[in-house]
Amino acid sequence: METALEFTADDVAYIEENFICLETRPPNGPAASYVLEDGSAFYPPDYFEQEMDEARFKERLRSEMNVQRVTLDPDETWQTYMAGIYGVCLQSATPENIVRKAAMLARIEQLTQTPDPGDSQWIRALKHAVDMLDKLERPFSPHYDRARFGKPPTRDTHIRSVRRRYPEIT
């Protein structure tokens, strides 16, 4: 039997402070990032600036993939975007930021697989990637998102944890 996810008071406070509540989902737009138990739907504050056209979204995504040299599945990324998930994790859920996040995650993973904290160039590269990811990502809700996704968010695994493990980059 599956247990229903519940929002803590801290989760609700985070959501109400960082997202906007809309009565109805705008046509053709991504789903709400959070729907509280009372049915209140919360969207990123820049929701009406988000890309609502699938073809333009994918064109922008592909363009940034060429710049960042990252490969994402445009159809899968569009579906995830439309499910409201990128509104949970990104300060601004643009196709470009989705690709930039993927690029920074890959860079952090690459650098931490072969750590060299004695090398100033390695330290600068890791610091840059972690700082860039930090600027892209939201804090995530204190409890709900960790339960919802069944694992720690990348803010925990690729920012906080990396900064703790390598204090040279702070």
The DSSP H or E segment spanning 12 is: helix 9-18
Determine the pLDDT at residue 113.
97
Could you give the number of structural domains in the chain? Answer: 1
Distance CA 13, CA 142 (A): 10
**Are the C-beta atoms of 36 and 42 separated by less than 8 Å?**
yes
Determine the pLDDT at residue 2.
44
Determine the pLDDT at residue 13.
98
Determine the pLDDT at residue 109.
98
The DSSP H or E segment spanning 20 is: strand 20-22
Determine the pLDDT at residue 4.
64
143: in domain: yes
The set of long-range contacts for 82-85, using a CB threshold of 8 Å and a minimum separation of 24, is: 82/30, 82/31, 83/30, 83/31, 84/30, 84/31, 84/32, 84/33, 84/43, 85/33
Determine the pLDDT at residue 25.
86
24-46 per-position pLDDT tens digit: 888 889 999 999 999 999 999 99
**Are the C-beta atoms of 130 and 108 separated by less than 8 Å?**
yes
127: in domain: yes
- Residue pointed to by tokens 């900064």: 163
142: in domain: yes
Q: Give per-10-residue mean pLDDT for the chain (170 aa).
A: 76 98 90 96 96 97 98 98 97 98 98 96 98 97 93 96 95
37: in domain: no
Query: Could you tell me the residue range of the domain that residue 122 belongs to?
Result: 54-169
141: in domain: yes
Distance CA 30, CA 88 (A): 11
Distance CA 112, CA 45 (A): 34
Determine the pLDDT at residue 26.
84
pTM of structure? 0.94
